[in-house]
Amino acid sequence: DTAVSQTPKYLVTQMGNDKSIKCEQNLGHDTMYWYKQDSKKFLKIMFSYNNKELIINETVPNRFSPKSPDKAHLNLHINSLELGDSAVYFCASSQTGALGQPQHFGDGTRLSIL
Amino acid sequence: AQSVTQLDSQVPVFEEAPVELRCNYSSSVSVYLFWYVQYPNQGLQLLLKYLSGSTLVKGINGFEAEFNKSQTSFHLRKPSVHISDTAEYFCAVSPYNTDKLIFGTGTRLQVFP
């Protein structure tokens, strides 16, 4: 059973379109994250949610809107896609309450903007 | 603010040789320290972490790392690498008061036969 699963794995679309990436975790964790990995492999946090509440928002353009219907899901919707949005997006989860708990990552969604 | 520096973007090494991947960090608050590995087309997998206690921590796949507070370093080592260790390795810190992970830029370990 996959612990953190993202869909789709690959997403190819044109500039200006709107797309969504879904993430689900079955670890019982209460915190979920979205990270962006650019073409140079640099990983940067975008958002984190704890029990459906937004905790971290790292100056991400408001074209990116995360949505957490419940603590096991954190979806990422992107409006008006731009060339610079091409990247690999990783979802992760962890259990708060005991700081220093490692984050568990999904396999990523490779987004390519044409 | 925190930052993580991985000085070596690539480390080529022959199979069965020892390897050290360097990581230095900067932080105004205490942090937890992590090493993650990313195999091609996969997500990140935790190798090891330092929270407190003994400064030498052992992880999966024969890797270990040593926390050096005075040098603000957390270098990763393996005494004998395998071809299967070829991957991207990320050092990361998490401030004590948050769940946020701040990553270094990664080191590509390439193991040759």
pLDDT in tens, A43-67: 999 999 988 888 888 878 999 999 9
Find, among B84, B90, B79, B78, the residue nearest to B112 by Cα: B84
What pLDDT does A99 receive? 65
Digit-coded pLDDT (tens) for B21-48: 999 999 988 899 999 999 988 889 999 9
A105 with B94: Cβ contact below 8 A:
no
What pLDDT does A1 receive? 62
Interface of B with A (CB under 8 A): 32, 34, 36, 38, 41-46, 49, 51, 88, 90, 94, 96-103, 105-106
- The average confidence (pLDDT) of chain B is 93
Q: If you search the block for the tokens 């105004």, which residue do you land on?
A: B28
What are the contacts of A55-64 at 24+ separation with CB within 8 A? Answer: A55/A31, A55/B99, A56/B98, A56/B100
Within 13 Å and on the Cβ side, how many CA atoms surround B37?
18
What pLDDT does B23 receive? 97
- The average confidence (pLDDT) of chain A is 91
Calculate mean pLDDT across residues B52-65.
93
A106 with B43: Cβ contact below 8 A:
yes
Calculate mean pLDDT across residues A88-108.
86
Calculate mean pLDDT across residues B87-103.
89
User: pLDDT band at A95, cuts 50/70/90?
Assistant: confident
Structure-model confidence comparison of residues B54 and B85, the more confident one: B85
Pairing verdict, β B44-50 and B31-38: antiparallel
Tokens matching residue B65: 């790392």
| A-interface mutation test, from B99, B108, B110, most A Cβ less than 10 A away | B99
A88 has a pLDDT exceeding 90:
yes
